Chain A
Amino acid sequence: AQKITQTQPGMFVQEKEAVTLDCTYDTSDQSYGLFWYKQPSSGEMIFLIYQGSYDEQNATEGRYSLNFQKARKSANLVISASQLGDSAMYFCAMRERNNQGGKLIFGQGTELSVKP
């Protein structure tokens, strides 16, 4: 079974509007970390935001926030005030404490296009 599921292959958003990118995960571990990365067409994976499983508050980093719903096992990324430079692939990833090998498990990604 897939551990990270991103159900939106592609999304469109109007410039200056907010957009939510969905991510659900599956783990039996009590301790885990959730990450979002942005990959522009140039290829580099850019770290955006981190949420720990024991964090009680949703993580925020500038225009990025993570809507963490532990019981539903979802970790959606919210981008506020979209900009043209936000057009890219976005990947959700998880790391489990019991996975001592350092393995980040990635989802399939969502391609976001911001329209002017």
Chain B
Amino acid sequence: ETGVTQTPRHLVMGMTNKKSLKCEQHLGHNAMYWYKQSAKKPLELMFVYNFKEQTENNSVPSRFSPECPNSSHLFLHLHTLQPEDSALYLCASSPAAEWETDTQYFGPGTRLTVL
């Protein structure tokens, strides 16, 4: 595997379900990110992990819970979601979330539908 991978690619869940999204990067990077992309809206940053430490939580509801066990893996745990949480969830990684030159590389995304 190369680059940034995400599983599953598609997920349909009910509002009472608990599920997790997984992201793995094979680039040797130290920073990982979760973004949400709703239809017809710009990408919204959700969480940032830099050297496994969470450095940004962009006012995300507590029904989204991130976990970064090491610099290669990032999870997004989902519980009691709402239909408006249906979106494309993109994971990204970068060498380190410190400088303006830091380029983020994205995974293919998980398309989530909440019924």
Question: Which single member of A4, A33, A46, A107 contacts B100 (CB below 8 Å)?
Answer: A33
Q: Which of A29, A31, A95, A109 contacts B42 (CB 8 A)?
A: A109
The interface residues of chain A lying within 8 Å CB-to-CB of B100 are 29, 31-33, 52-53, 95-97
- The contact string, 1 if C-beta is below 8 Å from chain B, for chain A 61-98, is 00000000000000000000000000000010001110
Q: Interface on B for A, CB 8 Å cutoff?
A: 31, 33, 41-43, 45, 48, 50, 55-56, 58, 88, 90, 92, 94, 97-109, 111
Chain A interface (Cβ within 8 Å of chain B)?
4, 29, 31-33, 35, 37, 42-47, 50, 52-53, 91, 95-97, 100-104, 106-109
27 residue pairs from A and B, CB less than 8 Å apart: A4-B42, A29-B100, A32-B100, A33-B100, A37-B106, A43-B88, A43-B108, A43-B111, A44-B107, A45-B90, A47-B106, A50-B101, A50-B103, A52-B100, A53-B100, A91-B43, A95-B100, A96-B100, A97-B100, A100-B97, A101-B48, A102-B33, A102-B56, A102-B104, A103-B48, A104-B45, A109-B42
